[in-house]
Chains A and B, each alone.
Chain A
Amino acid sequence: MDQFLIALLNGLVYGLLVFMVSAGLTLVFGMMGVLNFAHASFYMLGAYAAFFSGRYVGFWGGLVVATVTVGLFGLFSERLLMRKVRSFGHTQELLLTYGLFFMLEEVVKLLFGPTPVAYNVPDELRFTVFMIGNSQFPFFRLLMGITALVMFFGTYAALRFTRIGLIVRAAVERPQMVSALGHNVSLVFSGLFTVGSALAGLAGAVAGMYYPTSPAMAQELGSIVFVVVVIGGLGSLNGALAASLLIGVMTSFAVGVDSTFGDLLRALGLDVFALPGFEAVQFSAIAGVLPYALMLFVLLWLPAGFAGNRA
């Protein structure tokens, strides 16, 4: 029972981390139709910004600086670069974000080197918050989870209960109509992009302490984030949360399972399909592949995702 609980909690925390990064991405895509490849790079920039500034303004200050810096950077790239290519179509925007993703990794390598940097949880935060059986649950993981939940509820509340949230939601559905009603839709776009980037930056600042901070961060998380966004539905915050938690828990449990494909086939009586080399492969080994299989399934048969509103 303990194992189950631990695996579940760990899966949830990891899922919440993925959600922190994918929240901004799904909102931006839902609204602008742009899949921002550079979103994971903003996550990486947040971690590095917090690392760099944390040495001067302390841990909490580092978080704030990271969020603000990355948000500004997002604003800058949206206004200066993406606007220019918007007139050439969605494809060009996609390519531009791709180029940014490519380039930001190189810039980080130029400034900080290719090896991981010493961005760690500060000593005063290294304590246990509760025990499950023999296992200790560190405070910092709880902090990550709480940050993600605050992010979710904050964004959800802002979208649901404020006037500007109403405008944003309307602009996602019918940008031209909203513009005709007199709202500055391009300003709303920019604002949304900035907020999305800032959220990714905050996620990076928080997660970078727990996970290794290196230039490869963006690539590592990037593909999982896309999977989550697709499965949850492009544009849906709830969907992104559900999908992240699902992926996190699925990965966590799959890794813990010890049996192989061969066992499964034999249990089902399908011994004949147990090819050598394949039947010895363990479920845990393909834990990383399950999300993509699910993504493929969703894309083919449920393109709007589980909760999305775009086909």
Chain B
Amino acid sequence: MQYLSENHQSTDREKIFILLLLVFLVVGLFALPYFADMAFINAMVLVCIAALYAMGYNLLWGQAGLISFGHATYFAFGASCTIMMMAGIEGGSSFPTPFLPLVGGAASFLIGIVAGWFATIRTGVYFAMITVAITELARAIVQRWDTVFGGEAGITSIRTAWGPFGFQKLIDVYYFTLVWTIICIILLWFLQKSPVGMVIRGIREQEERVRFLGYDAHALKTLVFAISAGVSGMAGGLLAFTNESTNVTLYEGAYSTTVLINTVIGGAGVFLGPVVGATLTTLFGYYIANLTFHWLLYMGLLFIVIVVCAPRGITGLGVDAVMHIRSGARLPWRLICKQILGWLLLSIGSVMIIEMVGAVLQPSYGALARSSGVAWPPVNVFGINWSPSSPLTLSGIALIFVVALVLLRDTASSAHRNVLKLAGAIVQKPEAGS
């Protein structure tokens, strides 16, 4: 996998542009509570937590080239330890509330050292499977050990005020989470830029050479694993802080897979890629889940589309565009518009089919058909009632698909070729107007 963000130095103009963009974003995030409702603020808290979790996870993937399939353990352990400390504070301890995420982070860092030492003995698929084995073992132990971890009823506590901070309102929690997330991301940035980061990337590319240079590759990989676990643990701690409760379901596979999906969709090669992925999937799950009951299927399809057509994620596409502009060519706007329209139509068509099939196969649909006497009662998609048997509906959907496929026909293979070109697999040939 090509890691474009490191191999191509940004020009000064680009650096300023990106910096301004980030500043604008941060200011917007701080100003958010003034024009958003409680549901959205709650969603953004979750977005920050998912983003931090994904950034910690990507330290292992993007920097060290190790894909973990069992990161939920460190996330959940951070949450558990934090909630225990919160209960301790509630019981009279004088530990300052604002430092709670550090508890989760430190705890997960420690178990990350142990787990990482074992896991980094191997690489590749074997590494992935070791992480799976560790996470399954941890889950089984934790689910049994009720006295400490609370079982599926979990542990509950409350946020205790500290100094001038009340922490009782959602807005307080939002700022708390935002500040910690930004601090951690900045620290991760400096880690990436530091000599340690460079050696880690060296290990990713050519481990043997790095070892010949005198570095202890195993120790370094363990360190990276531990830091990654620690950051994930901090994210878990923030989750415990906002929910004021944890339970053992946090240790289950679903929390390992969501962070993987976030990173893939966002792009592991760009520093802030996972943040983009985390934001998208969290908001998607939060809001789309209210509109349709098949949102998991849509997310799965989106994931597959990204894996097949945009293997370096959404930010990867952005970087491709930047590369294109840098090489002097202009962005092919006509092609991009065709792509947007084609994919939009394809999405609409797929959504219509899936929603209609889902509605028709429900038992209540059959009941409605029987009681109303109409053979095919209408199904509501996008706010309009469509009758599944009417030729208008069927031909409309078919038309949408045909148009979409015509628009995408020539773009699919060219997209593929472009990526391969950039990956160095195909020698660049001058092309007319691509």
Task: Give me the interface of A with B, judged by CB distance under 8 Å.
Answer: 33, 35, 81, 84-85, 87-92, 94-96, 98-100, 102-103, 106-107, 109-111, 113, 219, 223, 226-227, 230, 276-278, 281, 285-286, 288-289, 292-293, 295-296, 299-300, 303
Contacts and interface: CB of A to CB of B under 8 A. Distances in A.
Nearest to B304: A99
Given A107-B297, A288-B140, A299-B126, A99 B132 contact: no
A277 B147 contact: yes
Given A96-B308, A103-B300, A109-B297, 19 more contacts: A88-B1, A90-B124, A90-B125, A91-B67, A98-B257, A99-B307, A102-B257, A102-B296, A110-B354, A111-B361, A113-B361, A285-B144, A286-B140, A289-B136, A292-B133, A293-B137, A299-B126, A300-B118, A303-B122
A67 B423 CA distance: 39
A35 B1 CA distance: 18
A281 B147 CA distance: 12
A81 B307 CA distance: 10
Contacts of B253: 219
Given A98-B260, A281-B144, A292-B140, A110 B308 contact: no
Contacts of B358: 110
A177 B423 CA distance: 26
Interface residues of B, number: 46
Contacts of A219: 253
Contact of B148 (A109, A277, A296): A277
B96 to A, nearest CB: 31
B297 A295 contact: no
Contacts of B176: none
Interface of B: 1, 67, 118, 121-122, 124-126, 128-130, 132-134, 136-137, 140-141, 144-148, 253, 257, 260, 264, 294, 296-297, 300-301, 303-304, 307-308, 311, 354, 357-358, 361, 416, 419-420, 423, 425
A84 B303 CA distance: 15
Contacts of B136: 223, 289, 292
Contacts of A94: 67, 125, 128
Query: 4 closest pairs, A vs B, by CB?
Result: A103-B300, A106-B297, A289-B140, A99-B304
Contacts of B311: 85, 88, 92
Contacts of B301: 103
B307 A277 contact: no
A223 B132 contact: yes
Contacts of A100: 304
B62 to A, nearest CB: 12
Contacts, number: 111
A300 B129 contact: no
16 contacts: A92-B307, A94-B128, A95-B260, A98-B257, A99-B300, A102-B296, A103-B303, A106-B294, A110-B358, A230-B129, A288-B140, A289-B140, A292-B140, A296-B133, A299-B133, A300-B122
Contact of A295 (B122, B133, B144): B133
For B122, B146, B297, B423, the residue with the greatest tally of chain A CB atoms inside 10 Å of its CB is: B297
Contacts of B416: 84
A35 B126 CA distance: 10
A235 to B, nearest CB: 12
For A89, A94, A109, A299, the residue with the greatest tally of chain B CB atoms inside 10 Å of its CB is: A299
B279 to A, nearest CB: 20
A103 B301 CA distance: 7
A278 B146 CA distance: 10
A248 B329 CA distance: 61
Contacts of A102: 257, 296, 300, 303
Nearest to A82: B308
A299 B308 contact: no
A12 B268 CA distance: 44
A153 B354 CA distance: 42
A226 B129 CA distance: 8
B243 to A, nearest CB: 25
Nearest to B426: A87
B329 to A, nearest CB: 23
A281 B141 CA distance: 10
A84 B48 CA distance: 34
Contact of A103 (B126, B141, B260, B297): B297
Given A85-B311, A99-B303, A299 B130 contact: yes
Given A87-B425, A110-B354, A289 B420 contact: no
Nearest to B127: A299
A300 B129 CA distance: 10
Nearest to B298: A106
A182 B341 CA distance: 45
A299 B125 contact: no
Contacts of A288: 140
A102 B358 CA distance: 18
A95 B307 contact: yes
A106 B297 CA distance: 5
A212 to B, nearest CB: 19
B140 A278 contact: no
A42 B294 CA distance: 21
Nearest to A111: B361
Contact of A87 (B130, B140, B145, B420): B420
B361 A88 contact: no
Contact of B307 (A96, A106, A278, A303): A96
Contacts of B125: 33, 35, 90, 94
